[in-house]
């Protein structure tokens, strides 16, 4: 303790270097805080005017028959089995919903497949109008299969820096479903809608509401889901599975391989991204340890 007091009583100048990055970080953080504060203050000042505008906009609307309407739909559910199970008392929650609200089976489309039926549900039109005929379409140039609902393309401009490719702008995301869904029409009349997991809604519509897309959302590979099979079997063993097959190589008490992901569009040639995967065998199937990229 005495040594510390003596050390504190005899200060000496210490040479040190403070990089310019610290100043940039401080200035950037301060600017973010200041801009956020100004936006919050501006929003608070505008709130009374927005409230008056909202009141004027809603004043001419007729009083709704119900305050809130909830539509619950199940993909592929058989209405005949549902009716039978409800009559037998096996679906009490469905019975409660039907008693409190209404329950009606909807006529399907032709063809009666999910993306076609749900597109007709959301737009109120037939396939010739909303342009969705199946899960897949074909490329008329190569006859290869394509997603029928979505097109994903690269950005228009790319900045080349050596072997790297920096995209300038956003990728091209297009929803191929035509006609307007009913929630967009409701939004035109300032009626909020929350659309959860309705198929054929990617990319999400721009409307007065919130939306979470579901069926037919492409994965990172641009497909409708590609699984990976890790196996020790040889390639000539007669596989029947689809997806991707990755051969595991045994190194001592470990099985090692590489998982292949989407292409790295930031590098010339767009090579696929890869992560190492290993399985440590501990002599019991329940205690084997799986690590992906060391974690």
User: What string of DSSP letters covers the chain?
Assistant: -HHHHHHHHS---------HHHHHHHHHHHHHHHHHHHHHHHHHHHHHHHHHHHHHHHHTSPPPSSS-------TT--HHHHHHHHHTTS-HHHHHHHHHS---PPP--SS--HHHHHHHHHHS--HHHH---SSEEE-TTT--EEESSEEEE--SEEEEETTEEEEES--EEEE---S--HHHHHHHTT--EEEEEESS--SPP-SSEEEEE-TT---TTSSS---EEEE-S-GGG-----SEEEE-EEETTEEEEEEEEEE-TTBTT-PEEEEEEEEE--SSTTS-EEEETT-
What global pTM score does this model have? 0.70
**Domain segments of the chain as ranges:** 77-104, 107-213, 228-292
Judge whether residue 75 has pLDDT over 50: yes
Judge whether residue 201 has pLDDT over 90: yes
Residues 127-175 have pLDDT tens digits of 999 999 999 899 889 998 888 999 888 888 899 999 999 998 888 889 9
Confidence of residue 124 (pLDDT cuts 50, 70, 90): very high
- Find which of 7-11, 19-23, 111-115, 214-218 is predicted with most confidence, using mean pLDDT: 111-115
């Amino acid at each position: 303790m005495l040594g510390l007091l003596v050390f504190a009583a005899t200060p000496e100048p210490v040479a040190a270097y403070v990089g310019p990055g610290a100043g940039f970080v401080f200035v950037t953080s301060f600017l973010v805080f200041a801009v956020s504060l100004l936006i919050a203050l501006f929003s608070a000042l505008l709130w009374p005017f927005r409230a008056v505008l909202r009141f004027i906009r809603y004043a001419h609307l007729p009083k709704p028959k119900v305050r809130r309407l909830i539509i619950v739909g199940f993909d592929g559910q058989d209405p005949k089995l549902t009716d039978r199970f409800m009559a037998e008392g096996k679906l009490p929650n469905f019975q409660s919903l039907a008693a409190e609200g209404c329950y009606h089976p909807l006529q399907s489309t032709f063809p009666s497949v999910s993306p076609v039926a749900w597109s007709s549900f959301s737009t109120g039109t037939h396939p010739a109008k909303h342009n969705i005929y199946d899960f897949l379409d074909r490329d008329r140039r190569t006859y290869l299969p394509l997603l029928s609902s979505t097109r994903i393309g690269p950005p228009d401009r790319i900045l080349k820096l050596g072997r790297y490719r920096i995209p300038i702008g956003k990728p091209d995301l297009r929803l191929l479903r035509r006609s307007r869904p009913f929630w967009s029409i409701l939004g035109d009349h300032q009626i909020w809608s929350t659309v959860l997991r309705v198929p054929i809604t990617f990319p999400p519509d721009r409307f007065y509401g919130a939306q979470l897309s579901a069926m037919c959302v492409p994965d990172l590979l641009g497909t409708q889901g590609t699984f990976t099979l890790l196996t020790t079997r040889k390639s000539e063993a007669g596989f029947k599975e689809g997806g991707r097959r990755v051969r595991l190589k045994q190194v001592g008490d470990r099985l090692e391989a590489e998982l292949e992901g989407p292409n790295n569009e930031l590098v010339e040639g767009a090579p696929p991204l890869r992560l190492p995967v290993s399985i440590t065998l501990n002599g019991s199937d329940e205690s084997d340890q799986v690590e992906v990229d060391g974690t």
